[in-house]
Amino acid sequence: MYYIHTISSISNQDSFRNENVYASLREFDAENDVVAPDYKEFIPRNSLRRLSPILRMGLTCAMECKNVIGKDFDSIVVGTALGCLKDTEKFLNTFITSTSDFLSPTAFIQSTHNTIGGQISLGLNNHAYNMTHTQNNLSFEVSLIDAILCINDGKKNVLVGAAEEKIDFLELVQPNLISADYPLASGASFFAISGEQQNSKVAIQAVDTNFRSKNVEKEILAFLTKEKIDLKEIDLLLTSGTELNSTTFSNKNINYMNFTGLHFSTSAFATHIAHDFLNNNDAKFALVVNDLCKGNLGLTLLKKG
Amino acid sequence: MSDLKQTLKEQIIEQLNLEDLTPADIQDDAPLFGEGLGLDSIDALEFIVLLEQNYGIKIADPSEGKDIFQSVNSLAEYIEKNNKT
Amino acid sequence: MKIYITGYGLISAIGVGEKETLDALKNERSGIATGKKEETKAYKVGEIALSNEELKTKYKLRTDGSRTALLGMVAAKQAFEGHLISDEIKTGLISGTSVGGMDISEQEYRNYLNNENHNPENYKHHSSGVSSDQIAEELGINDFINTISTACSSAANALMMGARMIRSGMLDRVVVGGTDSLTSFTISGFKSLMIFDADWCKPFDNSRKGLNLGEGAGYIVLESEKSLAITKKQPVAQLTGWSNASDAFHQTASSPDGQGAQLSMLEALKVAGLKPTDIDYINAHGTATPNNDLSESQAIKSVFKEVIPPFSSTKAFTGHTLAASGGIEAVFAILAINNGLLYPNLNFSEVIEETQLTPQLSFEEGKTVKHVLSNSFGFGGNNSTVILSRVD
């Protein structure tokens, strides 16, 4: 078991420092970007001035996790599919339009995917393992797998999360990157997890990835069999809009995309919802089903107790 | 010279995203790096861009910047001497 | 549990595959020259002469993709060639890249800005994960696919992730490494950082000015004992040590004492169960930037104390291939172990004043090379070390 000790999310929902994100879910509001806290409370002014939205979100969530658990992380694992798009686009503009010998470097420096993890290590003055995974809609799931390996390797306090950032240009190209049809969104969710239960009530039991998914229903059932759980025991199914036979899958279920909007790492926020559902209800198991990109299936099983 | 310093401060604030500062917050002789404004080596590169864009001054070796970028005073002095625009 | 290496492949400016690569290393022939393309012609770069079409034809690639993906396919196919595909062996691909499909995206974005022939469909190659999907498809691997993007340490981190997944039993076999193509994006980026040497780079030299960029890909195949029992493959080396630590000093620069680098080397030695004196050769990160080489030299001195093994940077051969460098240099390590080689650090003339370290200066054969330590340090203070060892 991989116990969740705290979660911090910044999203379109009112999720930051909210003990029960599940209960306060409302339909995605395309008018809003993200409901963000005052970043100045978390990030020194001198650092903040350079940071794009994805870095602000990621660093703030990481800081909040650190503040809540009060211990240094001995592993930091970040997932992001498209990374720091705002700075990437900014630097594309800089070098394509410039005729100068001198180019402003800040956007380039902050365009690499591992800027999020790098900023977290700098912000927390943390010298530990620091990894960045980028694998389309499964960026969060492969990060979770790394986090689980860290715990199995003996690490005590692991920070794992995912962040994505929308830019206007994405509207133009989105159908070529991902076929799902929801309004574009930004968001970040970070989790402090460990192998020790302490005060934690909800744990990640297992994570599975499938890169040649053909029959999601069969694959869910096979996963649950492996985990020795009957489908009926799942109290909440959270799917990325997956079509499941309602007779077989008669469980309570929600399409989390209706609350997150569209980015590649929405399953991280779905895992936050699943946690809060279990934590605040008489329920034992929740399953996040992420097949946002057809063929690539991520399954994350959460358990209370 | 004092006009130049005022302009420079505005340009520094813009180039380095020092949104919370006004030109009045930057003293002419205060160190820009380290203890002063707390700028770092990335900002030093941004200064090089600033000098080229606004004053046509090319600094090819970043290590030359150390003395030039000490304070608004030293920057202004250098620009007065080398302004190509 | 031992992690065996049963295949390797590489492509860089000094050649494709083992034979061409060894020939260049032995004859001290650098692959770095004035660029031949519009975006590279103003620089000294480690460019691969073959065009995308030539890569596809010559290496019979069936899958389309960005240049990054195509280079990755060429190297990964060499590594995985002749390996048994079987349902019994859970096989994955973990690939490092920093640019992904940027070579295509930047061209398209240019069209967008110029308002001419903008074809959004071409961004389908953009995401780094997609380039790994394409390489995996070419290899016929689909049990697990993952991409690591930690700038210049990406491939080394892919090796580490692969080893850990095998050790945990999640995978039996995994192709690991990295790939990056030269793009205007990265060339302009390093230009903005003002860390190019307009001439040939001089790693660990007192008068070093900066780096030359390169492109390429390098992959190795890791197998568990269980997998070996089925494939009957003969291991060529072992991956014995790995580590990743964070410098947490600066967004791009390394700390003066190389704290992250020290942590990374010490931890990798610990994982391998080796003492510093067991290391026979260090393939340094050695980008030839003033900052990296000083910081890395200090870290090497702290870790290895009085007895510093022969060390060199091979970046003066290949250029800095960014996310691919840890993969290419892992293959160099395997070749060193199996052929008893030490590689020369080209373009060196004078020791760095502060550290006084002289790298390996000539190509040497017939040495006993049992353990090679290979460093890869990236932006954001991401420091990684892997140790490759002889099969006993």
Write out pLDDT tens, residues C146-156. Answer: 999 999 999 99
For chain B, the chains sharing at least 3 beta-carbon pairs closer than 8 angstroms are: A, C
Residue with tokens 């007895």: C307
Disruptive mutation site among C188, C194, C251 for chain B (greatest number of B CBs within 10 Å): C194
In this prediction, what percent of chain A has a pLDDT beyond 70?
Answer: 100
pLDDT in tens, C312-367: 999 999 999 999 999 999 999 999 999 999 999 999 999 999 999 999 999 999 99
For chain A, the chains sharing at least 3 beta-carbon pairs closer than 8 angstroms are: B, C
Q: Which of C126, C152, C201, C371 is catalytic?
A: C152
Q: Domains in chain A and their CATH numbers?
A: 2-194 (3.40.47.10), 202-304 (3.40.47.10)
Single-letter amino acid, residue C196: F
**How far is it, in rounded angstroms, from Cα C374 to Cα C314?**
11
Residue pair A212/A55 in contact (Cβ under 8 Å)? The answer is no
Q: Does A115 touch chain C (CB under 8 A)?
A: yes
pLDDT in tens, C111-141: 999 999 999 999 999 999 999 999 999 999 9
- Residues of chain B positioned with their CB less than 8 A from the CB of A111: none
**How far is it, in rounded angstroms, from Cα A100 to Cα A128?**
39
pLDDT in tens, B33-70: 887 788 888 999 999 999 999 999 999 888 888 889 99
Residues written for chain A: 305
**How far is it, in rounded angstroms, from Cα C304 to Cα A119?**
30
Count of pairs with CB atoms under 8 A, one residue in A, one in B: 31
Does the pLDDT value for residue C250 go beyond 90? Answer: no
Identify the sign of the CA torsion C214, C163, C149, C63. positive
Q: What are phi and psi of C6, to 5 degrees?
A: -125, 10
Give the residue-averaged pLDDT of A101-130.
96
Q: Across all residues in chain A, what is the average pLDDT?
A: 96
Q: Would you call C126 a catalytic residue per the annotation?
A: no
> Among the residues of C27-152, which ranges form H helices?
52-58, 67-80, 102-114, 128-139
Does the pLDDT value for residue C233 go beyond 80? Answer: yes
Residue C366, min C-alpha distance to chain A (Å)? 37
Of A93, A146, A211, the CB nearest to C161: A146
Of A82, A93, A118, the CB nearest to C382: A118
What six digits make up the tokens of C303? 């870790």
Residue B41 sits at the vertex; the CA angle it makes with B36 and B44, to the nearest 5 degrees, is 80
Q: Where along chain C do its domains lie?
A: 4-231, 240-389
Band (C228; pLDDT cuts 50, 70, 90):
very high
pLDDT of residue C253: 83
Pick the CATH number of C4-231 from 3.10.20.30, 3.40.47.10, 3.30.1330.20, 3.30.530.20: 3.40.47.10
Tell me, yes or no, if the pTM score tops 0.95.
yes
Subunit contact A106:B38, Cβ cutoff 8 A: no
SS3 readout for C350-381: CCCCCCCCCCCCCCECCCCCCEEEEEEEEHHH
Highest average pLDDT, of A32-46, A131-145, C250-264, comes from A131-145
pLDDT in tens, A46-86: 889 999 999 999 999 999 999 999 999 999 999 999 999 99
Subunit contact C252:B42, Cβ cutoff 8 A: yes
Does the pLDDT value for residue C30 go beyond 80? Answer: yes
**How far is it, in rounded angstroms, from Cα C369 to Cα C71?**
29
- C4-231 and C240-389 share one CATH topology? yes
Disruptive mutation site among A46, A50, A115 for chain B (greatest number of B CBs within 10 Å): A46
Does the pLDDT value for residue C238 go beyond 70? Answer: yes
Long-range contacts of B6-11 (CB under 8 A, 24+ apart): B8/B72, B8/B75, B8/B76, B8/B79, B9/B72, B11/B50, B11/B54
Does the pLDDT value for residue C195 go beyond 80? Answer: yes
Residue C239 sits at the vertex; the CA angle it makes with A134 and C391, to the nearest 5 degrees, is 155
Interface of A with C in 122-161 (CB under 8 A): 122, 124-136, 138-139, 142, 145-146, 149, 152-153
Band (C248; pLDDT cuts 50, 70, 90):
confident
pLDDT of residue C22: 98
| Separation in Å, CA A168 to CA A28, A85, A183, B36, C58 | 18, 10, 12, 37, 40
pLDDT of residue C375: 98
Q: Does A49 touch chain B (CB under 8 A)?
A: yes
Residue with tokens 């995985």: C80
Residue with tokens 């936050």: A272
pLDDT in tens, A166-212: 999 999 999 999 988 999 999 999 999 999 999 999 999 999 999 99
Q: Which residues make Cβ contacts (< 8 Å) with residue C255, sequence separation at least 6?
A: C247, C249, C295, C381
Nearest to A63 by CA among A115, A125, A106: A125
Band (B83; pLDDT cuts 50, 70, 90):
confident
- Residues of chain B positioned with their CB less than 8 A from the CB of C252: 41-42
pLDDT of residue B85: 66
Q: Would you call C118 a catalytic residue per the annotation?
A: no
Nearest to C298 by CA among C334, C343, C254: C254
Residue pair A280/A20 in contact (Cβ under 8 Å)? The answer is yes
Give the residue-averaged pLDDT of C302-307.
96
Q: Would you call C201 a catalytic residue per the annotation?
A: no
CATH architecture of C240-389: 3-Layer(aba) Sandwich (3.40)
Subunit contact C146:A135, Cβ cutoff 8 A: yes
Band (C249; pLDDT cuts 50, 70, 90):
confident
Identify the sign of the CA torsion C12, C18, C24, C25. positive
